[in-house]
Amino acid sequence: MKKYIVISIIAIVALLPFAAWADEGGEAFATIYFEAVINTIVTSHWDDLTITQDVMEDWLEASMPMDWGDPLTPGTHDIEVTVQSFTDYEVYASYYSNMAAVFSGDVLYLTESGGNGFFGYLDYLEIADPAGGGDGVGMTDLGWTGTNNLPDGDHASYDVSWNPGNIDGDLQKEDEFYLHIVFIVTDTYIR
């Protein structure tokens, strides 16, 4: 009889599913740490401009602001900006030069192609480290806002115009100035 009881216990145990012998569950986990929530990509097709007597003569009947340099190839814009974001954001821009006394007024003008249709003169404000971000204070509000837009991001294209009549100073032949247009994208809660 003992033999049948032992065999019966072995048979019952053998018929139990293997899952009954295993732990019931477990977990895996990971942490997401955000060192950044906004990525800004600025692609420049903004060419250098050389002022000659012929160029100045072409300005005789020009209205201001006028296109920077030669007319662009159709479908190409001076500056293209892409914003990838995990958060609500706002976009600002300004310009600066190595000669602040000469380029401090309404000189550079942006026109957006499509999107919110921004157009206007940029504020003059030097931003030493655009990659470090900022809050947009003292910069031109481009009216471009957005929210989480990954993976593709939002895009805008800008054409640069300028008003040489607003350049201050007594310029000399061989003068050379460096101009920078800076785009800052900031989280809306910062402002």
Alpha helices in 2-96 (DSSP H): 2-15, 53-58
- pLDDT value, residue 101: 81
- pLDDT value, residue 103: 83
The domain in which residue 122 lies consists of 38-190
- pLDDT value, residue 21: 58
**The two structure tokens encoding residue 138:** 């003292």
What is the phi-psi region of residue 62: left when phi exceeds 0, alpha when psi lies from -120 to 50, beta otherwise? beta
**The two structure tokens encoding residue 180:** 């920078």
13 in any annotated domain: no
Which residues touch 44 (CB under 8 Å, ≥6 apart)?
Answer: 78, 79
Q: Which stretches of the chain score pLDDT less than 70?
A: 1-22, 69-75, 114-116, 191
The total of structural domains in the chain comes to 1
8 in any annotated domain: no
- pLDDT value, residue 129: 86
Q: Give 12-47 pLDDT, tens digit per residue.
A: 656 556 555 567 889 999 999 998 899 999 999 998
- pLDDT value, residue 3: 61
- pLDDT value, residue 188: 86
20 in any annotated domain: no
